[in-house]
Structure 1
Amino acid sequence: MHILLILAGAMLVAIAYNFFLIPHEILSSGLSGIAIMLGIISPLNTGVLNFLLNLPLLVLGVMKLGKKFIAYTILSVVSLSIFLYIVPVIQLSTEPILSSLFGGVLTGAGVGLTFRASASSGGFDIIAMLLARKRDFPLGTLLSMMNAVVIVAAGFLFSWDAALSTLIAIYATGKVVDTIHTKHIKLTLNIVTSKGDELCEKMLKNLYRGITVMDAKGAYSGESRSMLMTVITRYQLNEVKQMIHEVDPHAFVNITQTVEVMGLFHRE
């Protein structure tokens, strides 16, 4: 199911780029936007450039981030690069504003599906996550700062009309992504289970998140249990729920939205 979502998301993004954004020299957010820009001013295909730009970050992500998350992200980047290479560049609309809106909406839908599959589209997401682990900067601020570079580059290389259209596309993408899947919401999980050691080992192996283990006792049954407490990001929830179900389908899980996290949430 996750793989199908990732492939569908990549196809939507490729259609958005090649049918709406690239024909009007409108960029998207992140490294994909830089790939579009380089594809317009050079003879190289946007899909090839997207893969080459993401490749070093994916290698770094394999070493620094969760294995399943980065595996799905690699699939997302590779499939998007292939679809960008296969799908022809066709100008469906002659109106740049409409193209930026529809392109942004389709891109947001594709990226949102990717996040729902516990993956990311690579690029600036990986950079922001790695930087945030070393400094206590919010991910949203880091992503906004990096996307601002793309907008300014569009203005200098093409025109400021293209830059403003890029801004519209990025804004539309962000709104649709938030509607489908809010990627940076943090959640606190309290998991009461009879298989605490096994579940803790599995989560530590597959997630870049710390876990606090406490002894618990059922008030009614009097039986001893383990309670695992951890804070995750919203796009990791499906992955964590699957791990819990695989180890202990009868575990009691309380999931609450977290307003703020202080301490070592982003650090090794």
Structure 2
Amino acid sequence: MNIVLIIGSAMLVAFAYNFFFIPHEILSSGLSGIAIMLGILTPFNTGVLNLLLNLPLLILGMMKLGKRFIAYTILSVVTLSIGLYVVPVIKLSSEPILSSLFGGVLTGLGAGITFRASASTGGLDIIAMLLARKKDFPLGLLLSMMNAVIIVFAGFLFSWDTALNTLIGIYATGKVVDSIHTKHIKLTLNIVTSKGDDICEKLLASLYRGITVMDAKGAYSGEKRMMLMTVITRYQLNEVKQIIHDVDPTAFVNITQTVEVVGLFHRE
């Protein structure tokens, strides 16, 4: 299901770029925006440029992020690049402002779904994911801050109308991403399992989170268990549930939303 969501979301972003952004010389966020800019200024295809620009950060992601995450991200980047190459550039709307707004919403929808599927669209998203693991900010805000330079380039290279339309698109993208990718929401997990050591090993290898281990015993069966308590972010939930299910399908998991976390939250 994640693979289907990632491919569909990447194609949605490709349609947003080729139908709304590129015909009006509007730039998107991140390295994709730079790829659009270079695609307008040079004879090279935007899809090819997007793939080439993402290669260094994909290598960085391989070293710093989980294998599943970076594999999904590579799939997203490759699909988006292919989509930009094969989808024709069509001016669907003659209004630049409407194009920037709808293009931004579609881009945010695609990026948000991609994040929920434990992946990213590559580029500055990889940097944002690394920062988001260390700083407690909504991901869309981080992306918007890092994309300010894209707006300045759009103003100097094209026109300040283009820069303002780019700003609208990036803002719309960030708001939609934040509404879908609720990473800044914290969840507390209490996991009762007979395979606590195995689950701990898997979780510690995949998450930047600490885990508290307690001995437990079933009141009815009298069997000894381990109870693991950890606090994660909302976007990590699917990955954590999959890990628990793979190790111990019979584990009991209680998930509650956390109002506030005081003390050390990010495991270094």
User: Structure 1-normalised TM-score?
Assistant: 0.90
Q: Does 1:50 align with 2:50?
A: yes
Q: Which residue of 2 aligns with 1:214?
A: 214
Q: Which residue of 2 aligns with 1:86?
A: 86
C-alpha deviation, 1:81, in angstroms: 0.9
1:219-265 C-alpha deviation (Å, 9 max, x unpaired):
44433211222232322211111121222222221223334556554
Q: Does 1:102 align with 2:102?
A: yes
**Structure 2: 5+ residue stretches without partners:** none
With 50-59 and 140-149 compared, the bigger mean Cα shift is at 140-149
Q: Which residue of 2 aligns with 1:193?
A: 193
C-alpha deviation, 1:12, in angstroms: 0.2
User: Which amino acid is the alignment partner of residue 110 of structure 1?
Assistant: G
Give, in whole Å, the separation in 2 of the partners of 1:90 and 1:172.
21
Q: Does 1:202 align with 2:202?
A: yes
Q: Which residue of 2 aligns with 1:71?
A: 71
Superposition pairs for residues 1-268 of structure 1, below 5 Å? 1-131=1-131, 136=135, 138=137, 140=139, 141-261=141-261, 265-266=265-266, 268=268
Identity of aligned residues (%): 82
Give, in whole Å, the separation in 2 of the partners of 1:77 and 1:165.
25
**Structure 1: 5+ residue stretches without partners:** none
User: Structure 2-normalised TM-score?
Assistant: 0.90
With 53-62 and 212-221 compared, the bigger mean Cα shift is at 212-221
Q: Is the 8 A contact 1:189 1:254 kept in 2?
A: yes
Cα RMSD of the aligned pairs, angstroms, is 2.2
Aligned length: 267
User: Which amino acid is the alignment partner of residue 162 of structure 1?
Assistant: T
With 255-264 and 222-231 compared, the bigger mean Cα shift is at 255-264
Q: Is the 8 A contact 2:29 2:150 kept in 1?
A: yes
Q: Is the 8 A contact 2:208 2:266 kept in 1?
A: no
C-alpha deviation, 1:55, in angstroms: 0.9
Hey, which bits of structure 1, 4+ residues long, moved more than 6 A? none
Give, in whole Å, the separation in 1 of the partners of 2:238 and 2:107.
22
**1:139/1:53 CA distance change after superposition, 3 Å:** farther
Give, in whole Å, the separation in 1 of the partners of 2:26 and 2:264.
39
Give, in whole Å, the separation in 1 of the partners of 2:150 and 2:44.
19
Give, in whole Å, the separation in 2 of the partners of 1:47 and 1:205.
34
Give, in whole Å, the separation in 1 of the partners of 2:148 and 2:262.
27
Q: Is the 8 A contact 1:129 1:139 kept in 2?
A: no
**1:3/1:37 CA distance change after superposition, 3 Å:** same
SS of 1:89 mapped into structure 2? coil
